[in-house]
Amino acid sequence: MSGSQEEDDLAAAWGAALEDEGAAPAPDATRVLNQAEIDSLLGFESGPAGNADESGIQKIISSGLVSYERLPMLEIVFDRLVRLMSTTLRNFTSDNVEVSIDGIVSLRFADYLNSIPLPAMLGVARAEQWDNYGLVVVDSALIYSVVDVLLGGRRGTAAMRIEGRPYTTIERTLVERLIGVVLDDLTSAFEPLCPVEFKFDRLEVNPRFAAISRPSNACVLVRLRVDMEDRGGKLELLLPYATLEPVRELLLQQFMGEKFGRDSIWETHLADELLSTEIALDVVLDEQVLPLSSVISLKVGDRIALGVAPGAPVRLRCGEVPLFEAELGRQEQRLAVRIAREFARGRRAEA
């Protein structure tokens, strides 16, 4: 009888708990996020009202990257590259070519390799003076446009694309010539800043074989748009930060020839003040080393003989630094010195 009573009490307690849970959630119940809140947290807001700025975990992940704005001179180099390419590609294709910058971003090397739209050609370039590498990526639209222009295709018609086949030897050769022109312009763009020569190393069609840096290393990517009337495509230039490290100090400049930590006005003022500064010079006739017992036993009237012959040169010192060698003489009723020569900096250190 007692067992059945306990079971009835336990069932009643469970029923009351379920009724309370269905009526109103407990204040300490765990709240589950819906899909919209999860997307907002991760920064994957969709729709036209979605914010274009990164948010949430994307900001945390990308916070470790170095932004290219910290290298202001690099943007000037790329602007110069665009101007040079507009001229050289016109001569290369004998067509009206317009080159523009779509954007300059910083990203990790592995992220860029995974985002390359295939098919494409990846030219590996070597910076001789910096002993490192860079990438020049030409997309399929620009490849077919260049081949069409160089082989005499009609103007006003889009380049014919044949997908699903490897690039031919003629296409690879023409793209190698295009990449060589771009690398020559890149060399000229860096020339006012520092001497460096970009040389073509090899051409790859598989991004895995174009690995020039560690996957986690940060890189600077500049996207260029090449328009040839109704034809054109995109060309991307990737430079790892390790490649730019030898000239990092130059790329940090706000303008060409900037000197960090120097102010010419302050330097001139400091030099003028130093020239008018008064210092005390000591004429050293002789220096002797005496035991402490002899110094203590000195009395009034004792004489200390100087071990210097008459007419011997004496030294002029400022503190402990010897500056000049002079001759001792007399002018009227006072002792005077005449400077004979100056101590060189090396002899000052020895003295």
Residue-level pLDDT at 50? 45
- pTM recorded for the entire structure: 0.55
Percent of the chain with pLDDT over 90: 2
3-57: per-residue pLDDT in tens? 566 667 766 776 666 555 555 455 555 677 777 777 776 666 554 444 445 555 6
69-127: per-residue pLDDT in tens? 577 788 888 889 999 988 898 888 888 888 888 888 888 888 888 888 878 888 999 98
264-285: per-residue pLDDT in tens? 788 888 888 888 888 888 888 7
Amino acid identity, position 1: M
What fold is seen in the domain 68-251? Chemotaxis protein chec (3.40.1550)
7-11, 166-170, 180-184: range with lowest mean pLDDT? 7-11
What fold is seen in the domain 278-350? Surface presentation of antigens (SPOA) (2.30.330)
DSSP β-bridge partners for residue 225 = 100, 234
Residue ranges covered by each domain of the chain: 68-251, 278-350
d(CA 339, CA 255): 48
